Chains A and B, each alone.
Chain A
Amino acid sequence: MLEKGKISTRQLAILVMLLTIGDSILIIPSSTTHYARQNAWISTLIGMIAGLLAVYMYSKFAKSYPKLTLIQAIQKTFGKWIGTIISLTVLMYFLMVAVGSMREIGDFVTSEMLPGTPIPATLILFILIVIMASRLGIEVIGRASEIFIPMFIVLFLIQTSAIIPQMEMVRMLPILEDGIKPVLRGAISITTYTFLETVVFLMILPYVNQQKKITKSFLLGTLLGGIVIFITLIVSILVLGPDLTTRDVYPSYNIARRISVGGFFERVEAMIALQWMLTLFIKVTLYFYAFILGLSQLLNLKEYRVLSLPTGIILVALAPLIAPNFTYYNAIFDNYWVYYVITFGIFLPLVLLSVGMFRRALSKDLTSRN
Protein backbone atom coordinates (compact mmCIF):
# COMPACT_ATOMS: atom_id res chain seq x y z
CA MET A 1 0.00 0.00 0.00
CA LEU A 2 1.26 3.43 -0.90
CA GLU A 3 -0.70 5.22 1.79
CA LYS A 4 -0.86 3.67 5.23
CA GLY A 5 -2.85 6.40 6.95
CA LYS A 6 -6.48 6.11 7.98
CA ILE A 7 -9.13 8.77 8.54
CA SER A 8 -12.22 8.46 10.70
CA THR A 9 -15.76 8.85 9.38
CA ARG A 10 -16.10 12.18 11.22
CA GLN A 11 -12.99 13.48 9.49
CA LEU A 12 -14.45 12.28 6.19
CA ALA A 13 -17.64 14.27 6.82
CA ILE A 14 -15.64 17.39 7.69
CA LEU A 15 -13.41 17.04 4.63
CA VAL A 16 -16.46 16.60 2.38
CA MET A 17 -18.08 19.68 3.92
CA LEU A 18 -14.98 21.86 3.49
CA LEU A 19 -14.41 20.67 -0.08
CA THR A 20 -18.05 21.28 -0.97
CA ILE A 21 -17.79 24.84 0.30
CA GLY A 22 -14.34 25.16 -1.32
CA ASP A 23 -14.17 27.75 -4.02
CA SER A 24 -17.92 27.70 -4.64
CA ILE A 25 -18.49 30.12 -1.76
CA LEU A 26 -16.30 32.50 -3.78
CA ILE A 27 -17.75 32.26 -7.27
CA ILE A 28 -21.12 30.51 -7.04
CA PRO A 29 -23.29 33.50 -6.03
CA SER A 30 -22.49 35.52 -9.15
CA SER A 31 -22.47 32.51 -11.47
CA THR A 32 -25.83 31.07 -10.43
CA THR A 33 -27.51 34.44 -10.04
CA HIS A 34 -26.44 35.28 -13.59
CA TYR A 35 -28.87 32.62 -14.86
CA ALA A 36 -31.52 32.28 -12.17
CA ARG A 37 -31.68 35.93 -10.95
CA GLN A 38 -33.44 36.20 -7.58
CA ASN A 39 -34.56 32.57 -7.75
CA ALA A 40 -31.01 31.30 -7.29
CA TRP A 41 -31.96 29.85 -3.93
CA ILE A 42 -34.35 27.44 -5.68
CA SER A 43 -31.44 26.42 -7.92
CA THR A 44 -29.45 25.66 -4.80
CA LEU A 45 -32.16 23.36 -3.49
CA ILE A 46 -32.40 21.52 -6.83
CA GLY A 47 -28.62 21.33 -6.96
CA MET A 48 -28.49 19.95 -3.44
CA ILE A 49 -30.89 17.12 -4.32
CA ALA A 50 -28.87 16.28 -7.44
CA GLY A 51 -25.66 16.49 -5.44
CA LEU A 52 -26.94 14.16 -2.71
CA LEU A 53 -27.95 11.62 -5.38
CA ALA A 54 -24.47 11.85 -6.92
CA VAL A 55 -22.83 11.39 -3.53
CA TYR A 56 -25.05 8.38 -2.87
CA MET A 57 -23.78 6.96 -6.16
CA TYR A 58 -20.17 7.56 -5.06
CA SER A 59 -20.73 5.65 -1.84
CA LYS A 60 -22.32 2.80 -3.83
CA PHE A 61 -19.17 2.90 -5.96
CA ALA A 62 -17.04 2.53 -2.84
CA LYS A 63 -19.12 -0.49 -1.84
CA SER A 64 -18.81 -2.25 -5.19
CA TYR A 65 -15.06 -1.59 -5.44
CA PRO A 66 -13.95 -1.96 -1.82
CA LYS A 67 -10.34 -1.05 -1.00
CA LEU A 68 -9.76 0.29 -4.51
CA THR A 69 -9.19 3.91 -5.43
CA LEU A 70 -10.75 5.34 -8.60
CA ILE A 71 -7.55 4.79 -10.61
CA GLN A 72 -7.22 1.17 -9.46
CA ALA A 73 -10.92 0.51 -10.18
CA ILE A 74 -10.49 1.88 -13.72
CA GLN A 75 -7.44 -0.34 -14.22
CA LYS A 76 -9.34 -3.36 -12.99
CA THR A 77 -12.43 -2.71 -15.09
CA PHE A 78 -10.98 -1.58 -18.42
CA GLY A 79 -7.76 -3.55 -18.48
CA LYS A 80 -4.28 -2.27 -19.17
CA TRP A 81 -4.40 -0.15 -22.32
CA ILE A 82 -7.82 1.51 -22.24
CA GLY A 83 -7.53 1.74 -18.46
CA THR A 84 -4.27 3.69 -18.71
CA ILE A 85 -5.75 6.16 -21.19
CA ILE A 86 -8.87 6.76 -19.08
CA SER A 87 -6.76 7.04 -15.91
CA LEU A 88 -4.58 9.69 -17.55
CA THR A 89 -7.63 11.78 -18.45
CA VAL A 90 -8.87 11.46 -14.86
CA LEU A 91 -5.47 12.55 -13.52
CA MET A 92 -5.49 15.50 -15.88
CA TYR A 93 -8.92 16.43 -14.55
CA PHE A 94 -7.56 16.39 -10.99
CA LEU A 95 -4.68 18.60 -12.09
CA MET A 96 -6.99 21.00 -13.94
CA VAL A 97 -9.25 21.48 -10.91
CA ALA A 98 -6.21 22.17 -8.73
CA VAL A 99 -4.88 24.64 -11.30
CA GLY A 100 -8.27 26.37 -11.56
CA SER A 101 -8.50 26.75 -7.79
CA MET A 102 -4.96 28.13 -7.63
CA ARG A 103 -5.87 30.61 -10.32
CA GLU A 104 -8.86 31.77 -8.26
CA ILE A 105 -6.64 32.27 -5.21
CA GLY A 106 -4.16 34.30 -7.23
CA ASP A 107 -6.86 36.47 -8.80
CA PHE A 108 -8.60 37.08 -5.49
CA VAL A 109 -5.51 37.95 -3.45
CA THR A 110 -4.06 40.32 -6.07
CA SER A 111 -7.32 42.06 -6.89
CA GLU A 112 -8.80 42.47 -3.40
CA MET A 113 -6.23 42.08 -0.65
CA LEU A 114 -2.65 42.66 -1.80
CA PRO A 115 -2.73 44.68 -5.03
CA GLY A 116 0.74 44.99 -6.54
CA THR A 117 2.04 41.72 -5.19
CA PRO A 118 3.11 39.46 -8.06
CA ILE A 119 0.80 36.45 -8.45
CA PRO A 120 3.57 33.82 -8.22
CA ALA A 121 4.50 35.10 -4.74
CA THR A 122 1.03 34.26 -3.45
CA LEU A 123 0.90 30.97 -5.29
CA ILE A 124 4.31 29.78 -4.11
CA LEU A 125 3.45 30.44 -0.46
CA PHE A 126 0.15 28.61 -0.90
CA ILE A 127 1.61 25.63 -2.75
CA LEU A 128 4.33 25.15 -0.12
CA ILE A 129 1.68 24.46 2.52
CA VAL A 130 -0.20 22.19 0.13
CA ILE A 131 2.98 20.22 -0.62
CA MET A 132 3.73 19.92 3.06
CA ALA A 133 0.22 18.63 3.81
CA SER A 134 0.24 16.07 1.02
CA ARG A 135 3.69 14.78 2.00
CA LEU A 136 2.41 14.19 5.52
CA GLY A 137 -0.40 12.03 4.18
CA ILE A 138 -4.17 11.78 4.41
CA GLU A 139 -4.20 11.20 8.16
CA VAL A 140 -2.68 14.61 8.88
CA ILE A 141 -4.97 16.32 6.36
CA GLY A 142 -7.98 14.80 8.14
CA ARG A 143 -6.79 15.98 11.55
CA ALA A 144 -6.03 19.47 10.23
CA SER A 145 -9.58 19.70 8.91
CA GLU A 146 -10.86 18.84 12.40
CA ILE A 147 -8.93 21.80 13.79
CA PHE A 148 -10.18 24.15 11.07
CA ILE A 149 -13.88 23.38 11.28
CA PRO A 150 -14.77 25.15 14.59
CA MET A 151 -12.97 28.27 13.40
CA PHE A 152 -14.82 28.17 10.10
CA ILE A 153 -18.25 27.68 11.69
CA VAL A 154 -17.78 30.44 14.30
CA LEU A 155 -16.59 32.95 11.69
CA PHE A 156 -19.44 32.03 9.37
CA LEU A 157 -22.09 32.40 12.09
CA ILE A 158 -20.70 35.77 13.30
CA GLN A 159 -20.62 37.18 9.81
CA THR A 160 -24.07 35.89 8.83
CA SER A 161 -25.76 37.20 11.98
CA ALA A 162 -24.02 40.58 11.70
CA ILE A 163 -25.47 41.18 8.23
CA ILE A 164 -29.09 40.33 9.17
CA PRO A 165 -30.14 44.00 9.70
CA GLN A 166 -29.34 44.82 6.07
CA MET A 167 -31.53 42.10 4.56
CA GLU A 168 -34.71 43.00 2.71
CA MET A 169 -37.24 40.37 1.76
CA VAL A 170 -38.50 42.38 -1.21
CA ARG A 171 -35.28 41.62 -3.14
CA MET A 172 -36.38 38.01 -3.41
CA LEU A 173 -39.57 38.85 -5.34
CA PRO A 174 -40.97 38.00 -7.85
CA ILE A 175 -40.58 34.24 -7.51
CA LEU A 176 -40.25 32.22 -10.74
CA GLU A 177 -41.47 35.01 -13.04
CA ASP A 178 -39.62 33.51 -16.06
CA GLY A 179 -40.58 29.91 -15.42
CA ILE A 180 -38.37 27.07 -14.30
CA LYS A 181 -35.81 26.99 -17.16
CA PRO A 182 -33.35 29.70 -16.00
CA VAL A 183 -33.51 28.17 -12.54
CA LEU A 184 -32.51 24.79 -13.98
CA ARG A 185 -29.58 26.34 -15.86
CA GLY A 186 -28.45 27.92 -12.60
CA ALA A 187 -28.84 24.55 -10.91
CA ILE A 188 -26.39 22.98 -13.40
CA SER A 189 -23.71 25.48 -12.35
CA ILE A 190 -24.31 24.95 -8.67
CA THR A 191 -24.45 21.15 -8.91
CA THR A 192 -21.16 20.88 -10.76
CA TYR A 193 -19.12 23.54 -8.96
CA THR A 194 -20.33 22.63 -5.53
CA PHE A 195 -21.33 19.01 -5.29
CA LEU A 196 -19.85 17.01 -8.17
CA GLU A 197 -16.32 18.03 -7.31
CA THR A 198 -16.56 15.65 -4.35
CA VAL A 199 -15.69 12.96 -6.94
CA VAL A 200 -12.10 13.31 -5.70
CA PHE A 201 -13.13 11.39 -2.59
CA LEU A 202 -13.24 8.20 -4.66
CA MET A 203 -9.45 8.35 -4.29
CA ILE A 204 -9.71 8.71 -0.52
CA LEU A 205 -12.63 6.48 0.52
CA PRO A 206 -10.46 3.30 0.74
CA TYR A 207 -8.54 4.97 3.59
CA VAL A 208 -11.61 5.49 5.80
CA ASN A 209 -11.42 3.18 8.81
CA GLN A 210 -15.11 2.26 9.20
CA GLN A 211 -16.12 1.33 5.67
CA LYS A 212 -19.72 0.59 6.63
CA LYS A 213 -20.46 4.13 7.78
CA ILE A 214 -19.13 5.85 4.65
CA THR A 215 -22.53 6.52 3.08
CA LYS A 216 -23.88 8.29 6.15
CA SER A 217 -20.96 10.61 6.77
CA PHE A 218 -20.48 11.34 3.06
CA LEU A 219 -24.14 12.40 2.76
CA LEU A 220 -23.96 14.35 6.02
CA GLY A 221 -20.87 16.28 4.89
CA THR A 222 -22.50 17.14 1.56
CA LEU A 223 -25.68 18.27 3.27
CA LEU A 224 -23.82 20.54 5.73
CA GLY A 225 -21.71 22.04 2.94
CA GLY A 226 -24.83 22.55 0.85
CA ILE A 227 -26.52 24.38 3.73
CA VAL A 228 -23.56 26.77 4.03
CA ILE A 229 -23.73 27.47 0.28
CA PHE A 230 -27.51 27.93 0.50
CA ILE A 231 -27.15 30.49 3.31
CA THR A 232 -24.39 32.33 1.41
CA LEU A 233 -26.55 32.57 -1.69
CA ILE A 234 -29.70 33.67 0.08
CA VAL A 235 -27.73 36.31 2.01
CA SER A 236 -26.20 37.58 -1.26
CA ILE A 237 -29.64 37.94 -2.81
CA LEU A 238 -31.28 39.52 0.25
CA VAL A 239 -28.48 42.03 0.88
CA LEU A 240 -27.22 42.91 -2.60
CA GLY A 241 -30.14 41.92 -4.81
CA PRO A 242 -29.71 39.89 -8.03
CA ASP A 243 -28.21 42.73 -10.11
CA LEU A 244 -25.34 43.58 -7.80
CA THR A 245 -24.68 39.90 -7.08
CA THR A 246 -24.27 39.17 -10.78
CA ARG A 247 -22.03 42.14 -11.49
CA ASP A 248 -19.85 41.63 -8.47
CA VAL A 249 -16.83 39.40 -8.88
CA TYR A 250 -16.76 38.31 -5.22
CA PRO A 251 -20.25 38.98 -3.78
CA SER A 252 -19.69 37.34 -0.39
CA TYR A 253 -16.56 39.45 0.14
CA ASN A 254 -18.49 42.59 -0.69
CA ILE A 255 -21.22 41.61 1.78
CA ALA A 256 -18.65 41.24 4.55
CA ARG A 257 -17.46 44.76 3.70
CA ARG A 258 -20.93 46.14 4.40
CA ILE A 259 -21.07 44.71 7.91
CA SER A 260 -21.33 47.50 10.46
CA VAL A 261 -22.70 46.81 13.91
CA GLY A 262 -23.08 49.83 16.18
CA GLY A 263 -20.41 51.74 14.30
CA PHE A 264 -17.46 49.82 15.76
CA PHE A 265 -17.75 46.23 14.45
CA GLU A 266 -16.53 46.97 10.94
CA ARG A 267 -14.00 45.98 8.29
CA VAL A 268 -14.42 42.27 8.91
CA GLU A 269 -13.85 41.19 5.30
CA ALA A 270 -10.55 39.61 6.36
CA MET A 271 -12.73 37.06 8.17
CA ILE A 272 -14.31 35.81 4.98
CA ALA A 273 -10.94 35.83 3.23
CA LEU A 274 -9.70 33.55 6.01
CA GLN A 275 -12.63 31.18 5.46
CA TRP A 276 -11.88 31.02 1.74
CA MET A 277 -8.23 30.34 2.37
CA LEU A 278 -9.09 27.46 4.72
CA THR A 279 -11.61 25.80 2.41
CA LEU A 280 -9.54 26.37 -0.72
CA PHE A 281 -6.53 24.91 1.05
CA ILE A 282 -8.49 21.72 1.72
CA LYS A 283 -9.73 21.60 -1.85
CA VAL A 284 -6.36 22.15 -3.53
CA THR A 285 -4.67 19.74 -1.11
CA LEU A 286 -7.15 16.94 -1.80
CA TYR A 287 -6.93 17.35 -5.57
CA PHE A 288 -3.15 17.65 -5.45
CA TYR A 289 -2.94 14.58 -3.24
CA ALA A 290 -5.31 12.64 -5.52
CA PHE A 291 -3.14 13.54 -8.50
CA ILE A 292 0.18 12.40 -7.09
CA LEU A 293 -1.30 9.31 -5.41
CA GLY A 294 -3.21 8.34 -8.56
CA LEU A 295 -0.16 8.82 -10.77
CA SER A 296 1.93 6.61 -8.47
CA GLN A 297 -0.76 3.92 -8.43
CA LEU A 298 -1.08 4.03 -12.20
CA LEU A 299 2.67 3.59 -12.74
CA ASN A 300 3.15 1.17 -9.80
CA LEU A 301 5.57 3.43 -7.95
CA LYS A 302 6.67 2.61 -4.43
CA GLU A 303 6.71 6.19 -3.20
CA TYR A 304 4.33 9.03 -4.05
CA ARG A 305 5.85 11.82 -1.97
CA VAL A 306 8.76 12.45 -4.34
CA LEU A 307 6.33 13.66 -7.01
CA SER A 308 4.99 16.50 -4.87
CA LEU A 309 7.66 19.16 -5.55
CA PRO A 310 7.70 18.88 -9.38
CA THR A 311 3.89 18.83 -9.44
CA GLY A 312 3.96 21.97 -7.30
CA ILE A 313 6.07 23.74 -9.93
CA ILE A 314 3.62 22.68 -12.65
CA LEU A 315 0.69 24.07 -10.63
CA VAL A 316 2.35 27.42 -9.93
CA ALA A 317 3.35 27.86 -13.57
CA LEU A 318 0.05 26.71 -15.08
CA ALA A 319 -2.23 28.79 -12.84
CA PRO A 320 -1.42 32.11 -14.54
CA LEU A 321 -0.99 30.48 -17.95
CA ILE A 322 -4.35 28.70 -18.06
CA ALA A 323 -6.25 31.87 -18.98
CA PRO A 324 -4.93 35.23 -20.16
CA ASN A 325 -7.44 37.22 -18.10
CA PHE A 326 -10.31 36.95 -15.67
CA THR A 327 -13.07 37.48 -18.25
CA TYR A 328 -11.87 34.65 -20.48
CA TYR A 329 -11.53 32.37 -17.47
CA ASN A 330 -15.04 33.14 -16.25
CA ALA A 331 -16.62 32.69 -19.69
CA ILE A 332 -14.97 29.30 -20.16
CA PHE A 333 -15.90 28.18 -16.68
CA ASP A 334 -19.51 29.25 -16.95
CA ASN A 335 -20.10 27.61 -20.31
CA TYR A 336 -17.80 24.63 -20.74
CA TRP A 337 -16.14 23.70 -17.46
CA VAL A 338 -19.45 22.47 -16.02
CA TYR A 339 -19.67 19.72 -18.65
CA TYR A 340 -16.05 18.80 -18.06
CA VAL A 341 -16.90 18.20 -14.40
CA ILE A 342 -20.07 16.29 -15.32
CA THR A 343 -18.01 13.95 -17.53
CA PHE A 344 -15.86 12.86 -14.60
CA GLY A 345 -18.31 13.48 -11.78
CA ILE A 346 -21.35 11.59 -13.11
CA PHE A 347 -20.60 9.82 -16.36
CA LEU A 348 -17.41 7.95 -15.46
CA PRO A 349 -18.48 6.66 -12.00
CA LEU A 350 -21.84 5.63 -13.47
CA VAL A 351 -20.15 3.59 -16.22
CA LEU A 352 -17.80 1.94 -13.72
CA LEU A 353 -20.65 1.22 -11.34
CA SER A 354 -22.86 -0.37 -14.00
CA VAL A 355 -19.97 -2.48 -15.33
CA GLY A 356 -19.25 -3.67 -11.78
CA MET A 357 -22.91 -4.53 -11.15
CA PHE A 358 -23.19 -6.33 -14.49
CA ARG A 359 -20.12 -8.44 -13.69
CA ARG A 360 -21.40 -9.35 -10.25
CA ALA A 361 -24.81 -10.32 -11.65
CA LEU A 362 -23.07 -12.43 -14.29
CA SER A 363 -20.90 -14.27 -11.79
CA LYS A 364 -23.88 -14.85 -9.49
CA ASP A 365 -25.78 -16.25 -12.43
CA LEU A 366 -22.92 -18.61 -13.28
CA THR A 367 -22.54 -19.88 -9.71
CA SER A 368 -26.29 -20.49 -9.38
CA ARG A 369 -26.32 -22.45 -12.63
CA ASN A 370 -23.50 -24.65 -11.42
Chain B
Amino acid sequence: MSIVAILIIVAVIIAIEVPLMLRKKLIKELWVFSFLLLLGTFFSLIYVMNITISDPLAWMVFIYKPVADMVNAWLS
Protein backbone atom coordinates (compact mmCIF):
# COMPACT_ATOMS: atom_id res chain seq x y z
CA MET B 1 0.00 0.00 0.00
CA SER B 2 2.64 2.52 1.03
CA ILE B 3 4.83 1.35 -1.86
CA VAL B 4 2.03 2.26 -4.25
CA ALA B 5 1.72 5.66 -2.57
CA ILE B 6 5.43 6.32 -3.05
CA LEU B 7 5.29 5.30 -6.70
CA ILE B 8 2.32 7.64 -7.23
CA ILE B 9 4.21 10.54 -5.62
CA VAL B 10 7.28 9.86 -7.77
CA ALA B 11 5.09 9.69 -10.89
CA VAL B 12 3.46 13.02 -10.00
CA ILE B 13 6.88 14.65 -9.50
CA ILE B 14 8.06 13.32 -12.87
CA ALA B 15 4.87 14.55 -14.54
CA ILE B 16 5.35 18.03 -13.05
CA GLU B 17 9.02 18.57 -13.77
CA VAL B 18 10.19 16.45 -16.70
CA PRO B 19 8.07 17.88 -19.60
CA LEU B 20 9.15 21.40 -18.62
CA MET B 21 12.82 20.42 -18.54
CA LEU B 22 12.58 18.68 -21.91
CA ARG B 23 10.90 21.71 -23.44
CA LYS B 24 13.67 23.99 -22.16
CA LYS B 25 16.30 21.40 -23.23
CA LEU B 26 17.82 21.19 -19.72
CA ILE B 27 19.50 17.82 -20.25
CA LYS B 28 22.17 18.08 -17.53
CA GLU B 29 19.50 19.15 -15.04
CA LEU B 30 17.49 16.08 -16.03
CA TRP B 31 20.39 13.80 -15.09
CA VAL B 32 20.85 15.37 -11.65
CA PHE B 33 17.08 15.35 -11.14
CA SER B 34 16.85 11.64 -12.00
CA PHE B 35 19.75 10.78 -9.71
CA LEU B 36 18.23 12.61 -6.73
CA LEU B 37 14.80 11.11 -7.43
CA LEU B 38 16.24 7.58 -7.58
CA LEU B 39 18.05 8.19 -4.28
CA GLY B 40 14.85 9.52 -2.70
CA THR B 41 12.78 6.57 -3.94
CA PHE B 42 15.42 4.15 -2.67
CA PHE B 43 15.40 5.68 0.83
CA SER B 44 11.59 5.83 0.90
CA LEU B 45 11.32 2.16 -0.08
CA ILE B 46 13.78 1.22 2.65
CA TYR B 47 11.65 3.16 5.12
CA VAL B 48 8.24 1.73 4.20
CA MET B 49 9.53 -1.84 3.89
CA ASN B 50 10.76 -1.54 7.50
CA ILE B 51 14.33 -2.50 6.69
CA THR B 52 16.21 -1.42 9.79
CA ILE B 53 19.64 0.09 9.43
CA SER B 54 21.35 -0.78 12.68
CA ASP B 55 23.78 2.13 12.96
CA PRO B 56 23.16 4.79 10.30
CA LEU B 57 25.44 7.40 11.85
CA ALA B 58 28.36 5.02 12.46
CA TRP B 59 30.56 6.93 10.01
CA MET B 60 30.23 10.06 12.16
CA VAL B 61 31.15 8.14 15.31
CA PHE B 62 34.10 6.57 13.45
CA ILE B 63 35.50 9.93 12.28
CA TYR B 64 34.95 12.01 15.39
CA LYS B 65 35.49 9.49 18.20
CA PRO B 66 39.17 10.39 18.80
CA VAL B 67 38.38 14.11 19.08
CA ALA B 68 35.34 13.48 21.27
CA ASP B 69 37.30 11.21 23.65
CA MET B 70 40.11 13.74 23.89
CA VAL B 71 37.81 16.67 24.68
CA ASN B 72 35.79 14.62 27.18
CA ALA B 73 38.94 13.50 28.98
CA TRP B 74 40.20 17.06 29.16
CA LEU B 75 36.93 18.66 30.28
CA SER B 76 35.82 16.32 33.04
Q: How far apart are B42's CB and chain A's nearest CB, in angstroms?
A: 8
Residue on A nearest B67 in the bound complex, by CB = A339
Q: Give A303-322 interface residues, CB cut-off 8 Å to B.
A: 303, 306-307, 309-314, 316-318, 320-322
Residue on A nearest B62 in the bound complex, by CB = A336
Q: How far apart are B26's CB and chain A's nearest CB, in angstroms?
A: 6
A239 at the interface (CB under 8 A from B): no
Interface bin, chain B = 35 or more
CA distance A336 to B56 in the complex (A): 13
Residue on A nearest B68 in the bound complex, by CB = A335
CA distance A202 to B28 in the complex (A): 26
Contacts of A337 in B (CB 8 A): 60
Q: Count of A residues near B, CB < 8 Å? A: 35
Contact A301 B28 (CB under 8 A): yes
Contacts of A188 in B (CB 8 A): 71, 75
CA distance A320 to B44 in the complex (A): 10
Contacts of A182 in B (CB 8 A): 75-76
Interface of B is mostly: helix
Q: Given A313-B13, A321-B46, A332-B57, verify A181-B33 contact (CB < 8 Å).
A: no
Contact A317 B75 (CB under 8 A): no
Q: How far apart are A340's CB and chain B's nearest CB, in angstroms?
A: 6
Contacting A302 at CB < 8 Å: which of B26, B67, B72, B76? B26
Contacts of B57 in A (CB 8 A): 322-323, 332, 336
Q: How far apart are A342's CB and chain B's nearest CB, in angstroms?
A: 9
B3 at the interface (CB under 8 A from A): no
Could you jot down 12 A-B contacts, CB within 8 Å? A181-B74, A185-B71, A299-B32, A303-B21, A303-B29, A306-B33, A307-B29, A309-B13, A310-B40, A313-B44, A339-B64, A339-B67
New contact pairs (6) apart from A309-B13, A314-B43, CB-CB < 8 Å:
A185-B76, A303-B29, A307-B29, A310-B40, A313-B40, A317-B46
Mark B residues whose CB is within 8 Å of A: 9-10, 13, 16-17, 20-21, 24, 26, 28-29, 32-33, 36-37, 39-41, 43-44, 46-47, 52-54, 56-57, 60-61, 63-65, 67-68, 71-72, 74-76
